[in-house]
Structure 1
Amino acid sequence: MDTAAELESGSGDESGTTPTPTPASPVTQLSLWPPPRSTRHSGRRRRQVVVVSAVVVAVLALAGGIAAALTLTAADDQEDVAEAGRTHLDAFVGSWSGEMVQVDTEGDYVADWHAEVRIEDGAERGSTAWTTFACSGTLEQTAAEGDRLVYTYTETADPQDRCVDEAELTVSPDGGGLAAEWSSVTREGTRMISTGLLE
């Protein structure tokens, strides 16, 4: 029976040839299939995905809350502006009357006359009567410039044929009344300006 030394050296080989020793290899077996996947880190990866998802949801919720708050603030600001506009226009609403002093283009005195003006709610339209001349007409707002409102006057009655068909009225708050300026052009082409205080 061969000893271990004889088996290692191949002395007991019947062919009489000595086999060549092979170097030691760490690969003991070759496989065509990939090695099984490690599950050691999958739990940590799953926790990271959950944490990242929660952070994204929280950020989106916060952004939505901020957007909603900004929308509500903008709506409140618009309501405040609208309320301020209504309060501003309320200063013009009502019935007013006063004496006007009329001058021509050169500033020469022409006449004194009495005007009555009524401005409706919203200050968009109204009516007027020039009692000295027995004329009357309607007013329609055409411009708002700061604290001034501009109206177009359109004549509706002129039984004595003494008034202009159209004029422009500009009013602005003055103490407890309205400073008024009427601007018109006569049939002869002369520009007339009448100013006064409506109370």
Structure 2
Amino acid sequence: MDAPAELESGAQDRGGTPAPSTSAVPVQQVSLWSPPRSVQGSARRRRRITGLAVGAAAVVLIAGGTAAAWALIGDGAEDAPAGSGAPAEDFVGSWAGEMTQVDTEGAHVADWHAEVRIEDGAERGSTAWTTFTCSGTLELTAADNDRRVFTYTETADPEERCVDEAELTVWPGGGGLNAEWSSVTREGTRMISTGLLSGGA
């Protein structure tokens, strides 16, 4: 391959005399050597600044995405037990009411009576599904404004008529607590039961 000096237009040989001309058109604007150190340093600085700018933009985008995700999550229940809105005292006490159960198609399945006891702090409780002679414990798993979500864990089911686990969501209204029970049967059918619990502390 020709040396770089031989490819540049108007180059001279080592003796200082003009290099013999060739019939080929001289190569223009091609450098086979690395640029001077000052240019290399500037390029490195530009790359470093560009890298920092891209990194900062990524952080901003991630932070923005996280904020957007939290905004979306804020539409539902949050994982933290404590929440703003209705105070814990609004949920504490003994409650009872009739529940109406429907399947995923909205077809009526059963009416049943529920009794719920929520302890001080509204973080734990117990319940009895008297119609089915089942009972279990309640533990707070989420809170959002005026709603509390409890996980039901069965402790007694002598006739094997109830599910082992369910989710109870309650919120003040109608002079008591609106209640929604959500569960999945052993056959895999989701059931929703709703009703009003009356009573209180």
- Asked if TM exceeds 0.5, the reply is yes
Q: Are 2:161 and 1:162 aligned?
A: yes
Q: TM-score, normalization: structure 2? A: 0.56
Counterparts of 2:100 and 2:182, CA distance in 1: 12
Unpaired stretches in structure 2, ≥5 consecutive residues: 1-82
- The RMSD of aligned alpha carbons is 1.6
Aligned length: 116
* Corresponding residue number in structure 2 for 1:107: 106
Counterparts of 2:145 and 2:105, CA distance in 1: 28
Q: TM-score, normalization: structure 1? A: 0.57
Q: CA deviation at 1:145?
A: 1.1
Task: Name the amino acid aligned to 1:118.
Answer: R
Q: CA deviation at 1:86?
A: 10
Task: Name the amino acid aligned to 2:116.
Answer: V
Answer with 1 or 2: which has the greater Rg: 1
Q: Given that residues 86 and 122 in structure 1 are in contact (C-alpha distance below 8 angstroms), is that contact kept between their aligned partners in structure 2?
A: no
Counterparts of 2:85 and 2:108, CA distance in 1: 38
Q: Given that residues 85 and 144 in structure 2 are in contact (C-alpha distance below 8 angstroms), is that contact kept between their aligned partners in structure 1?
A: no
Counterparts of 2:194 and 2:105, CA distance in 1: 15
Q: Are 2:186 and 1:187 aligned?
A: yes
Percent same amino acid among aligned pairs?
Answer: 79
The 4+ residue runs of structure 1 with deviation greater than 3 A are 84-87
Matches within 5 A, 1:94-133: 94-133=93-132
Q: Which has the higher helix share?
A: 1
Counterparts of 1:173 and 1:120, CA distance in 2: 16
Whose relative contact order is higher, 1 or 2, with alpha carbons under 8 Å and at least 6 apart? 2
Counterparts of 1:158 and 1:86, CA distance in 2: 35
* Corresponding residue number in structure 2 for 1:3: none
* Corresponding residue number in structure 1 for 2:174: 175
* Corresponding residue number in structure 2 for 1:91: 90
Q: Mean Cα displacement is larger for which, 85-94 or 188-197?
A: 85-94
Q: Given that residues 100 and 112 in structure 1 are in contact (C-alpha distance below 8 angstroms), is that contact kept between their aligned partners in structure 2?
A: yes
